[in-house]
Amino acid sequence: MSTTFTLESSTSRANPTPAPMKRLTVPAIRARKVDGATADPIVMLTAYTARMAQLLDPHCDMLLVGDSLGQVVYGLPSSVPVTLDMMCAHGAAVVRGSYHSVVVVDMPFGTYEQSPEQAFASAARILKETGAAAVKLEGGEAMAETIAFLSARGIPVCAHVGLTPQAVNALGGYGARGRSEAEADKILADARAVADAGCFALVIEGVMEPLGVAITQAVACPTIGIGASAQCDGQVLVIDDMLGMFERVPRFVKRFANVADTISATAAQYAQAVRDRSFPGEEQVYRPKK
């Protein structure tokens, strides 16, 4: 029997339980787009922990264990220093915390660019150690051969074009891409190349809106926008941005909550209760039985 894990709120222990439904599959995601149209848009968010995956899973079609964890979890300046060990550890946690969504794990910088063989070794390790369904890698035409190589060997690939954060040093920053006609043409060619190579889905990040529409119309696989267009076949956001965990709000992010203020205010209440000795109270201490 397929099992997932339930986190007991009283003990924080993860216990195996029967999965309440069959998990979505890569072919099911790919099949959302029919004759160039997606009637049911794909909902995708990042997740890095079992508990967050558990909360997001009922509402999402795909959970992305993004290398954005480098910044939002580890406080690194970019995603470049993220390691395969990090991705495997967090990927396994997200799989344990979910039962419905297709879990996709980012391949970190330096683990796939050298050759298709290197990419296969890295991707195989990710799938073995995490139980995830697919990997995601950045790059266009240069990665088409690698995508075809992985796909032919049973490893589903989600591609990523436009603003590619792992290439931040080459791009010179995180500005929107496709402003010039030449750059837009190059990104569109990249999208066609990875789609033709066999990716089952394509993330389009940080591009001018007309380019996001053009790519979506040009490729057969579903597109997932992040700073692209509402006309993409789905959308993804970094969960910490969407929840308002950071002061900076990128242009393409809608802050659906302000969880940072809630956490800060709650910590302040706790600190005050400790300092005035009102915590722990009678309900939180053990007394000898009479």
Q: What is the rounded distance in angstroms from the CA atom of residue 110 to the CA atom of residue 122?
A: 10
Q: Which of 285, 272, 137, 277 is nearest to 198 (CA)?
A: 137
**Does the annotation place 138 within a ligand binding site?**
yes
Does 136 carry a binding-site annotation? Answer: yes
- Spatial CA neighbour of 145 closest among 196, 201, 205, 84: 196
Residue 205 designated active-site:
yes
Catalytic hit among 129, 205, 247, 283: 205
Residues, the chain:
290
67 is in an annotated binding site: yes
Question: How far, in whole angstroms, is CA 186 from its chain's centroid?
Answer: 25
Q: Is 106 annotated as a binding-site member? A: yes
DSSP string computed for 80-131: TT--HHHHHHHHHHHHHT-SSSEEEEEPPTTSSSS-HHHHHHHHHHHHHHH-
> Known binding site: residues?
67-68, 106, 136, 138
Binding residues for 3-methyl-2-oxobutanoate: 67-68, 106, 136
Binding residues for Mg(2+): 67, 106, 138
Residues designated catalytic: 205
